[in-house]
Structure 1
Amino acid sequence: MEVAIVKYNAGNIFSVISALKRQGVEPELTDDAERLAKADCVIFPGQGNARTTMDNLRRSRLDEVIRSLTQPVLGICVGQQLLCRHSEEGDTDCIGVFPVDVKRFRPDSLEQKIPAMGWNALYDLSSPLMHGLSADDYVYFVHSYYAPVCPFTIAKADYIQPYSASLHKDNFWATQFHPEKSGKVGEQIISNFLTLAR
């Protein structure tokens, strides 16, 4: 199986590579459009600022490449946000796979810290990506922005309000959390994604 990871200025690429190697997969890290198009599946990880990242993707036309992919694609963290239509972070137009606008968390009290960082429970699970998971399984999040609950939501989490912990549309899946840092639950999600491409 050929698994490609989109090569750009993402900060968590090597933890994603390690997670795939634990599944017996040797991924290719590439920004080559042809190689991305030929892979059995593609992972689009991300950490950092939406505007800076989108600027980098547009310079290399990777935004167009990602949008055109037809095999299973998994966006992670900022990767999920950038697959949406727009982000409040830097008032940024994004790739637009999901017709959803990413919002900034607005705390109601001093106890509600931003970024939301740490382990949080998933619920209202659907889609083969969540196969084998149970409501209240915990995964690891670090984020200040979120995709609202919408028709493409396949898992929810709560912080200040319910939001989309995971999205799915056509051949695109995405997680706001980091499956590569989420222990056995994350390993199950990565395994499920690889199964989608087999």
Structure 2
Amino acid sequence: MKITIIDYGAGNIQSIQFALNRLGFEGILTNNADEISSADKVIFPGVGEASSAMKKLKNTGLDELIPTLKQPVLGICLGMQLMCNHSEEGNTKGLGIFDTDVIRFSNEVKVPQMGWNTIYNLQSPLFQGINGNEYLYLVHSFYAPLSENTIAITNYETEYSSALQRYNFYGVQFHPEKSGIIGEQILKNFLNL
């Protein structure tokens, strides 16, 4: 199986590669359109700030490529947020894959949300074999509200989408590569789609 990890200079790439290695797979880190298009699975990671990450995608033409992909694509953290219509972070226009906007937590709670929190109301093969209320690792100041694309929920100040799905596109707000055995199971489920 050919797995590509989109390289656009905004990522926590090594921990994703290590997690794939533990599952017996290798991820090719690339920003080459042909490599990405010909992959069986595509992982779209992201750590950092939305507007500068989107600029990097535009500079390489990946902003045009990603929405056209036909194979399963998994956006992680900022990757998921960039797949939405818009983010309040840097007033950033997203890729428009998920029909929702990304907004900031209020100052009523500690921002960023950092650490372990539960996911529940799981509605996708991505969560096969996983019970609700498992703990996963999150670190983020912005979130996607509940929408018709929501396939898992987390509560921090309010209920929000900890995972989204539309067609072949999946997004998770948490970091499966840093979430122990449950995160590995989610990655394995993605690779089995």
TM over 0.5: yes
- Corresponding residue for 1:75? 75
CA contact (8 A) 2:99 2:149 kept: no
**Once the two structures are superposed, what CA deviation does each residue of 1:138-187 show, in whole Å capped at 9, x if it has no partner?**
00000000000011100000000000000000000010000000001000
- Structure 2: which amino acid aligns with 1:68? T
Matched ranges for 1:42-61 at <5 A: 42-61=42-61
**Once the two structures are superposed, what CA deviation does each residue of 1:51-70 show, in whole Å capped at 9, x if it has no partner?**
00001100111111111100
Q: Would you say how many aligned residue pairs link Structure 1 and Structure 2?
A: 193
> 1:27: Cα distance to partner?
1.1
**Once the two structures are superposed, what CA deviation does each residue of 1:83-105 show, in whole Å capped at 9, x if it has no partner?**
00000001100111011100000
Asked whether 1:130 is paired with 2:96, we answer no
- Structure 2: which amino acid aligns with 1:19? A
CA contact (8 A) 1:46 1:79 kept: yes
CA contact (8 A) 1:107 1:160 kept: no
Asked whether 1:11 is paired with 2:8, we answer no
Matched ranges for 1:136-151 at <5 A: 136-151=133-148
CA contact (8 A) 2:72 2:169 kept: yes
> 1:189: Cα distance to partner?
0.1
Asked whether 1:155 is paired with 2:185, we answer no
- Corresponding residue for 2:64? 64
Counterparts of 2:59 and 2:45, CA distance in 1: 18
CA contact (8 A) 2:81 2:143 kept: yes
> 1:11: Cα distance to partner?
3.0
Counterparts of 1:119 and 1:29, CA distance in 2: 28
What SS does the aligned partner of 2:192 have?
helix
Asked whether 1:86 is paired with 2:83, we answer no
What SS does the aligned partner of 1:194 have?
helix
Gaps of 5+ in 1: none
- Corresponding residue for 2:118? 121
- TM normalised by structure 2 equals 0.99
What SS does the aligned partner of 1:19 have?
helix
- Structure 1: which amino acid aligns with 2:173? Q
- Picking from 166, 177, 180, the partner of 2:177 is 180
- TM normalised by structure 1 equals 0.96
Counterparts of 2:180 and 2:107, CA distance in 1: 28
Identity %: 52
> 1:8: Cα distance to partner?
1.0
- Corresponding residue for 2:164? 167
> 1:26: Cα distance to partner?
1.1
Gaps of 5+ in 2: none
RMSD over equivalenced CA pairs, Å: 0.6
